[in-house]
Structure 1
Amino acid sequence: MPDLACLNGRIIRIEDALVPIEDRGYQFGDAVYEFIESFDFHIFCLDEHLKRLQDSMNLLDFPSVSIPVLKDDIINLFTLSEYARAGCYLQVSRGVEPRAHCYTNKVLPQITMTIKNLAFLDPSVNIKGIRIRTCEDYRWGMCHIKTVQLLPAALEQHKARKTGLADTVFVSKEGHVLEGTCANTFIIKGQSLITHPLDNHILPGITRDVIINRICRKEKITILERPYDIHEFYQADEAFLCSTVMKIQPIIEADGKKIGAGIPGPLTNKIQAFYDQLVYHS
């Protein structure tokens, strides 16, 4: 089966999917997106992804899009792909019209999707853990909106990978640890999880929400949503990154400093096990 795309509701081969050059997503970064995965043919957290997409569009004053129709198109694309583990990239731009900073009320959203087969994650990452670097945050001030304006994240992830590290974590000018280039960040002190509260500095991650509301609340694991600084990060007992793509990846070193014992910790491993149960058996 060739890789497929969906362009404004029409299923086509990915190599045949073309968008107009005056698409505002291409010229202004005026677009929002989601990345949705399936495991053993089960689409994980589809409704949650669509709600966040709708929230992003509302915050940017996008024209309305039918979420039920969009959901049907996504399910159809996953079904036609026949991939047991697949990743669907969904992007909604404000639309196409002659280039101008000020958009009109006549522009119609442009909806594109692609779906590809995904390899299963290397389990050794969870056993060995990952090493990361940090940098001062220089992204735009509305990181709670999932837009395609990802250049700082792309640059900083590239810098990390060039030096053999897994990712870069952004730190505010005030010294607060925010999030990775494409993942939320948690630390553990004792038996408590700590993560930055939802605000305009971080993305409301789907995996973050699953950990807080479907794992920690249910399993009576203490969760604290509060700012924490870089020194508390370095001195944490455990730490991890989490996202749809990364799942839960233990951080064993940050900026050359060992986190905790320098190995994935017991509470991180416990949360990983609960998360895997949800992903593969829910």
Structure 2
Amino acid sequence: MTIAYLNGEFKPLEQAQISPMDRGFLFGDGIYEVVPSYAGKLVAGNLHAQRMNRGLSEIGIKVLAEESNWVAIAEGLLARNLDHLPDQNVGIYIHVSRGADTKRFHAFPEGVKPTVFAFAFSIAPSAVPDRTQAKGLHVQTQEDLRWRRCHIKSTSLLGNVMHFQDSFGKGINETVLYNQDGMVTEASVSNVFAVIDGEIVTPPLDNQLLPGITRHILINSIRKDGQYQLVERQITLEELKGADEVWLTSSSKEVAPVVMIDNQAVGNGVVGEVWEQVAKSYHTHKFSF
């Protein structure tokens, strides 16, 4: 039985109860984070906390000071759950909704206390940055049909879920999204990187994509090592399909190589050498953020 956190209390997950009138349930009115950890160490806990606070500010949810130390909540859950999740690879999910109202009404209610909920769960071991062992992903592409505020890590994930489910139902790992101008934005649950003409390229941050924490760590790791040139710029769908290498990044995937897009091989169809080098760099630096 794992231990959860709900509104200031640690308790067995089965005992964590939330009102059906909670706006997170009725409207998806909330913000969330997933913080990975390995061997009892959080990855970029402070960066996840900062993004959580930015998201809450964007949608006008004010959380009491004692409930806003997200790193402390994550560490508290980690300490309480390592015996329950003995593989030592643990994800911490933190979810803040606007809270429970007495009626269903679209406008933000006054005087409602936010609901703060978090729990721990097992995640896959950290990937070995070895191209001979890495399994390349197969992805498809689709026009992005979600809302226009994708930079907010909202709990309203139906658009992402539908894109991901389409690939999942076809036995494909992910769906890479592009906008109406044919520019790649992100994937349904990941950020996108490509190696094009000797440069590592990733779409710039704007309202069309999430400012991923793994994206941030990888960019800074690449720049710190200085082995490769990294550019944040728009990528056309045609460029992506013609890239030498393509990778996806997320807290759960870390840095995952892609070997097939829309049933066409990426580069020579195997995990690339640049991926191996930047994946090693990511693993070297990931606990320093």
* TM-score, normalisation: structure 1: 0.94
Q: CA deviation at 1:96?
A: 1.0
Choose which of 204, 208, 220 in structure 1 pairs with 2:215: 208
**Aligned runs of 1:183-262 on 2, under 5 Å?**
183-213=190-220, 215-220=221-226, 221-262=228-269
CA contact (8 A) 1:182 1:243 kept: yes
CA contact (8 A) 2:124 2:252 kept: no
Q: CA deviation at 1:63?
A: 1.6
CA contact (8 A) 1:39 1:279 kept: no
CA contact (8 A) 2:44 2:288 kept: no
Tell me the equivalent position of 2:60.
61
| CA distance, structure 1, for counterparts of residue 160 and residue 126 of structure 2 | 22
Tell me the equivalent position of 1:16.
15
State yes or no: 1:120 paired with 2:119: no
1:190-211 per-position Cα deviation (integer Å, ceiling 9, x unaligned): 4311111000000000000001
CA contact (8 A) 1:23 1:96 kept: yes
| CA distance, structure 2, for counterparts of residue 16 and residue 81 of structure 1 | 15
| CA distance, structure 2, for counterparts of residue 224 and residue 281 of structure 1 | 22
* TM-score, normalisation: structure 2: 0.92
CA contact (8 A) 2:24 2:98 kept: yes
**Aligned runs of 1:1-282 on 2, under 5 Å?**
2-66=1-65, 69-82=69-82, 83=85, 84-97=88-101, 98-120=103-125, 127-213=134-220, 215-220=221-226, 221-279=228-286
User: 5+ unaligned residues in a row in structure 2: which ranges?
Assistant: none
1:166-215 per-position Cα deviation (integer Å, ceiling 9, x unaligned): 100111011011111111000112431111100000000000000112x1
| CA distance, structure 2, for counterparts of residue 262 and residue 4 of structure 1 | 43
| CA distance, structure 2, for counterparts of residue 206 and residue 122 of structure 1 | 17
What is the one-letter code of the residue matched to 1:95?
Answer: G
CA contact (8 A) 1:89 1:114 kept: yes
Which secondary structure state, in structure 1, belongs to the residue aligned with residue 35 of structure 2? strand
| CA distance, structure 1, for counterparts of residue 35 and residue 271 of structure 2 | 27
Q: CA deviation at 1:11?
A: 0.8
Identity of aligned residues (%): 28
CA contact (8 A) 2:38 2:125 kept: no
What is the one-letter code of the residue matched to 1:259?
Answer: V
Q: CA deviation at 1:275?
A: 1.4
**Residues 280 and 40 (structure 1 numbering): CA distance in 2 closer, same or farther, change over 3 Å?**
farther
| CA distance, structure 2, for counterparts of residue 188 and residue 79 of structure 1 | 40
Q: CA deviation at 1:277?
A: 2.3
Q: CA deviation at 1:72?
A: 2.0
User: 5+ unaligned residues in a row in structure 1: which ranges?
Assistant: none
Which secondary structure state, in structure 2, belongs to the residue aligned with residue 127 of structure 1? coil
Q: CA deviation at 1:245?
A: 0.5
**Residues 280 and 103 (structure 1 numbering): CA distance in 2 closer, same or farther, change over 3 Å?**
closer
Aligned residues: 280
| CA distance, structure 2, for counterparts of residue 223 and residue 118 of structure 1 | 29
What is the one-letter code of the residue matched to 2:36?
Answer: E
| CA distance, structure 2, for counterparts of residue 188 and residue 218 of structure 1 | 18
1:221-240 per-position Cα deviation (integer Å, ceiling 9, x unaligned): 21111111100001101110
**Residues 163 and 236 (structure 1 numbering): CA distance in 2 closer, same or farther, change over 3 Å?**
same
| CA distance, structure 2, for counterparts of residue 62 and residue 147 of structure 1 | 12
CA contact (8 A) 2:222 2:230 kept: yes
| CA distance, structure 2, for counterparts of residue 278 and residue 101 of structure 1 | 43
**Residues 247 and 56 (structure 1 numbering): CA distance in 2 closer, same or farther, change over 3 Å?**
same
CA contact (8 A) 2:23 2:98 kept: yes
CA contact (8 A) 1:30 1:94 kept: yes
What is the one-letter code of the residue matched to 2:199?
Answer: S
Q: Deviating runs (4+, > 6 A) in structure 1?
A: none
**Residues 253 and 86 (structure 1 numbering): CA distance in 2 closer, same or farther, change over 3 Å?**
same
CA contact (8 A) 2:100 2:115 kept: yes
Which secondary structure state, in structure 2, belongs to the residue aligned with residue 128 of structure 1? coil
What is the one-letter code of the residue matched to 1:76?
Answer: G
Q: CA deviation at 1:135?
A: 0.6
Taking only aligned residues, the RMSD between alpha carbons, in angstroms, comes to 1.8
